[in-house]
Amino acid sequence: MSDNPLFEEWRTPFGLPPFDRIRPEHFPPAFDRGMAEEEAEIAVIAHSPEPPSYVNTVEALERSGRLLAAVDDLFHNLNSSATNPEIDALARDYAPRLAAHRSKIALDPDLFARIDALYQKREALGLASDQLRLLERHHSRFVRAGALLGPAEKARMAEVVARMAALHTQFGQNVLHDEDEWRLVLDESDLAGLPGFARDAAAAAADERGLTGKYAITLARSSVEPFLTFSARRDLREAAHRAWTVRGEHRGAHDNRPLIGELLALRQEQARLLGYDTYATYRLDDTMAKTPDDARHLLRQVWAPAKRKAAAERDELAAAANDDGLNAPLAPWDWRYYAEKVRAAKYDFDESGVKPYFVLDNMVAALFDTAGRLFGLAFVPRDDCPVYHPDVRVYEVRGADGKAIGLFLHDNFARPGKRSGAWMSSYRDQEALDGEVLPIVVNNNNFAKGDPTLLSFDDARTLFHEFGHGLHGLLSRVRYRSQSGTAVLRDFVEFPSQIMEHWVQAPEVLRRFARHYQTGEPLPEALLGKLLAARNFNQGFATVEYAACALLDLDLHARPEPPPDIAAFERDFVTREGMPAEIGLRHRPPHFQHLFDGAGYAAGYYAYMWAEVLDADGFAAFGDAGDVFDPALAARLKTVFSAGDTQDPMVLYRAFRGRDPDISALLAQRGLDR
């Protein structure tokens, strides 16, 4: 295809993809050529007549597969943020092909022999520290992919990996199908209790779906959670909650339950082929935690106090519900509604009173100001860059010296064809092997669009969280692509994102940027005080909701055989762990995308709490310094963000904090220390 833009050098600003020219039919020939080119490049490395050296093996490997990487990054991002039936079909078709291609490289005996030869004499090669770590990490990746297996086992490993890739893709598409298909259509008479911002968002969602004169609640979290928080109609709250919790388990073509059993069996087979008893043992061997027992120990330290706190919260909510005339047991669709009422009474403020001060544009300005004060960054709008959807905003990111360090894309709104949740990704990673390559980073959120868009406090935290991931990519200053930005151990990758959440809670930030959307007046000091005082409110609920899912994940992946009935397993789990019935699992298995639409967080969902130990303890250093923008601490933190995977993460943390992390800050942060 001679006019395929994927084969061109993109002469757009910063080399952004020319989105307006790219069509689904451009991807198959680009994927095919990209795989063929990389296969040829790998063959040259693997069969070189020259003895293996760092340059002709490791660095040559880093230079390989450039076309495929660019096409795959582009496709992955469009498939997540702006998909359509054609892209969905391509994803199903190419996921197993790409997995087979990667397996062929990972299982190439001649390529591994060269890497292994260098690894065995690594201390005598005179390598710089980043080069030594890269060699060790490459060697580990090949071994963990099956490089030491015999021919028959390698063939089976390739089959397993390809099948898992197909199942991951189907799982995610099934969830998105259920989210796009469902909506709760409301009339004016159904809106009792909903504040203005929630009504406006529901009206906009209805208009977007051609439901003129109606209101619509969707399964985007920014739509359904405010509805569950404010709607006075218990029957409608129940309908929305049930729809939210049964995503992925409708009988028929989009049922994820059969996929889960097959995925778990394949993962267990993968682990056994590599000599591990369980998939959890295999995955955690390459993390900071190292073992499932250590990860589980962390979760157990918060599980019991969280349940105690949640029980006390439940009693308060039940009393409020009784006063409200509810003559039935508290149900999961009641918790948020009565929690908001109790919070309003206890702290003399409610979410609807705070939300008018959290304007999306102002919170974005707060992000950029925080990055400027901490790291010397400036975000300059660029209106001349191509985008894949009109919602996307583009910023050139400049360092303290005024020079560009990367490009930042901000895609903040929920819409059909965009998967739910919030995430960071990239169209290009920073590296400097053959000259400086600047990163192109994207943050995705799923806020309900309004005029203006108003955020909850939790939404604002999510905004800062994803921005932390974004900064991890933007601030990267490494030599090699494989070590760039977020390419770190799974249970460290959330540290940069979670520590950034603390700045949206800093009074210095809120006083400047939390301003009323109509009057421009700052958040009143009294309301600010109440907001900060209420930060630990409902933390029993939040901790139980999260920790239960992390424990479930470990339980699923630490079994020698997958459960024959995932629904029965779930019921047994919540009973065995004493899961409060009024809370329920935040992520039930049929829609637990962290685990099943990819392997990134499989046996690793605990990583958010592992990283929270680091972020709570790390931010406490700023408190000890008496300045949330302390220059010396900010400089050391910037080093963590910039280092990528060039050093062991605990070495990086100790250099920042001056000691090992302490869990006490996390317990205090969640109000679980009393």
> What residues are annotated to the active site?
466
Distance CA 308, CA 584 (A): 16
Residue 456 tokens, joined: 């909850």
As given in the structure block, the two tokens for residue 649 are 């993460």
Instruction: State how far the Cα of 226 lies from the Cα of 185, in Å rounded to an integer.
Output: 15
380: three-class secondary structure by DSSP: strand
Q: DSSP letters along 391-457, please? A: T-EEEEEE-TTS-EEEEEEEEEE--TTS-SS-EEEEEE--B-BTB-B--EEEEEEEEPP-SS-B--H
Neighbours of 92 (CB within 10 A): 14
Q: What are phi and psi of 558, to 5 degrees?
A: -100, 5
User: Strand pairing of 440-447 and 404-413?
Assistant: parallel
Buried b (16+ CB within 10 A) or exposed e, 410-430: bbbbbbebbbbbbebbbbbbb
> Which string of DSSP letters, residue by residue, matches 103-158?
HHHHT-HHHHHHHHHHHHTGGGS---HHHHHHHHHHHHHHHHHTTTS-HHHHHHHH
Task: Provide the CA 487 distance to its chain's centre, in angstroms.
Answer: 13
3-state secondary structure at position 2 = coil
Query: To 5 degrees, how large is the angle CA 330–CA 669–CA 495?
Result: 110
| H-helix or E-strand spanning residue 215 | strand 215-217
Q: Which of 244, 245, 274, 206 is nearest to 416 (CA)?
A: 206
Q: In angstroms, how far is CA 494 from the centroid of its own chain? A: 8
CA atoms of 18 and 388, how far apart (whole Å): 9
DSSP 326-366: --S---HHHHHHHHHHHHHHHHS--HHHHGGG-BHHHHHHH
* Burial readout 476-498 (b: 16 or more C-beta within 10 A, e: otherwise): bbbbbbbbbbbbbbbbbbbbbbb
- Dihedral over Cα of 231, 233, 236, 241: its sign: positive
Place of tokens 């660095």: 59
Q: Computed over its alpha carbons, how large is the radius of gyration of the chain? A: 25
